[in-house]
Structure 1
């Protein structure tokens, strides 16, 4: 499908959140995917991924995940300065603020006359964590979580007993967990900790590990693996076609 894109400024309890919308450029009603970015917000690789998903018949919402901490439209660079700023934002914004963002995004998706009202979530890096976290909301029917950071380590700020790992059992939708085995941000022990928690909690999930590094989906930089990226896109599209149609 040919796609089109625009943006909307959505009001949340913690401020205005610019959200980029990618969708098929044809009439009809389509399910929505909230696509959570890396710490750098909506970079060119994130926009290209959103376009790919939209071309398969989805309305893709890309929120600025740290909208409270940056001017609207901020995109951080893939350099040390951008990484330091993004990590500082990650460690500053509490998970509860991400939760209220998700509620606002779901309400927005359901208000669109070209959406069916069914919503899934997807994300990469911190966005993989946020997709996992979004699935705590029962309106999220499925989540594709790609090399999700900080779940195993409980390093994001939250209220007591409200971290994402501890609340795994509250997730009712289907989870697709995808990892790179050479990812230093989520080492073997961290991945196995999450896997065991999913088993213990009885979640409905799939689990895939590739011989790949962190950010192997990002089509800029030396870690990009295009063959694996195509496979993961196919996996994600299958998940959402099955659970959101």
Structure 2
């Protein structure tokens, strides 16, 4: 079952990559892509979450623009395409597609009915919005972009939320972090970790800013957080 078809709430369908755990039923986990589509990095992450015991599903959130995007962060042309897709992406529709994906995985016979989300970069922003706008049971953001412009939605968060922030994130400058980090630190359902000296995508294996020690620390915190809240 490498792919499933998900029905969008406003019509149409889109594809999602699925990885199954060794034992079912198991909690579900929506894995939210970066700006490079459902590429090998995201498929490997989805597989790794399945290995941790989740029915892991990674939807194609760019389907409304261009279905099946699968590019890397290795060339300038791919970066340009990724930023073009990011510029065309409708965040509100994206959240609705993620909620449809959440509903889909909860409805799968292999799923216990509990389900959360974890997202990276653009996906980190969307995981924050899943915490604010959906009934997802737990949500994790890795270096989410644009949270400073949506911090007024933090009051709607009622389920556990974990945010990994890169101190020297080139896409989330200090003035942006100053707007959302203190708010989340005071939120009773939120946990924030700031990774000193790290840049954007420090957990992307093979990426320019990959840092194994920080990635291992963040991933361990995510593993414990999900186990505590979805298990």
TM-score (norm 2): 0.92
- Unmatched tracts of structure 2, length 5 or more: none
Change (3 A) 1:193 1:91: same
* Matched ranges for 1:155-174 at <5 A: 164-174=150-160
Q: Is 2:31 the partner of 1:35?
A: yes
| Alpha-carbon separation, structure 2, partners of 1:103 and 1:97 | 10
* Matched ranges for 1:81-96 at <5 A: 81-96=77-92
Determine helix, strand or coil for the equivalent of 2:103: helix
Match in the other structure for 1:159: none
Does the Cα contact within 8 Å between 1:17 and 1:67 map onto a contact in 2?
yes
Q: Which has more helix, going by share of residues?
A: 2
Match in the other structure for 1:76: 71
Determine helix, strand or coil for the equivalent of 1:121: strand
Determine helix, strand or coil for the equivalent of 2:118: strand
* Matched ranges for 1:19-58 at <5 A: 19-26=16-23, 28-58=24-54
Shift of 1:243: 0.7
* Matched ranges for 1:195-234 at <5 A: 195-198=181-184, 202-210=187-195, 211-234=197-220
Q: Which of 12, 16, 19 is 1:15 aligned to?
A: 12
Match in the other structure for 1:117: 113
Shift of 1:95: 2.0
Provide runs of 4+ in structure 1 moved above 6 Å: none
CA RMSD of aligned residues (A): 1.7
- Per-residue CA distance 1:179-213 (angstroms, 9 max, x = gap): 1112111112211211233356x341111111211
| Alpha-carbon separation, structure 1, partners of 2:227 and 2:132 | 20
Shift of 1:45: 1.7
Shift of 1:219: 0.8
- Unmatched tracts of structure 1, length 5 or more: 155-163
Does the Cα contact within 8 Å between 2:36 and 2:71 map onto a contact in 1?
yes
Match in the other structure for 2:178: 192
With 30-39 and 8-17 compared, the bigger mean Cα shift is at 8-17
Does the Cα contact within 8 Å between 1:180 and 1:214 map onto a contact in 2?
yes
